[in-house]
Amino acid sequence: MTKTWFITGAARGFGRLLTEKLLARGDKVFATVRREGSLTLEHPNLRVLHMDLTDPASIRGSIDAAFREGRIDVIIANAGYGLFGAAEELSDAAISRQIATNLTGAIDLVRAALPHLRGQQGGRFLQVSSEGGQLAYPGFSLYHATKWGIEGFIEAVAQEVAGFGIEMTLIEPGPTATEFATSVDMAQTIPAYEESNVGAVRRDLRAIAEGGTGDSFAGLADAGRSVDAMIALAEQQELPRRLVLGSTAFDNIGATLRARLSELKAQRDVPLAAD
Which residues are known to be catalytic?
129, 143, 147
123 forms beta bridges with: 166
- Cα-based distances in Å from 267 to 135, 136, 150, 163, 215: 20, 22, 28, 37, 34
The 3-state DSSP class for residue 182 equals helix
Q: What share of the chain is helix, strand, coil (3-state, %, to 5)?
A: 50, 15, 35
The 3-state DSSP class for residue 67 equals helix
* DSSP code of residue 88: G
Q: How far apart are CA 86 and CA 138, in angstroms?
A: 7
Which run of H or E residues covers position 32?
strand 28-33
Strand-pair category, 28-33 with 83-84: unpaired
Pinpoint the alpha helices (H) of the chain: 13-24, 56-67, 92-98, 105-119, 141-161, 197-209, 223-234, 247-266, 269-273
Tell me which residue of 94, 92, 95, 74 sits closest to 30, measured CA to CA: 74
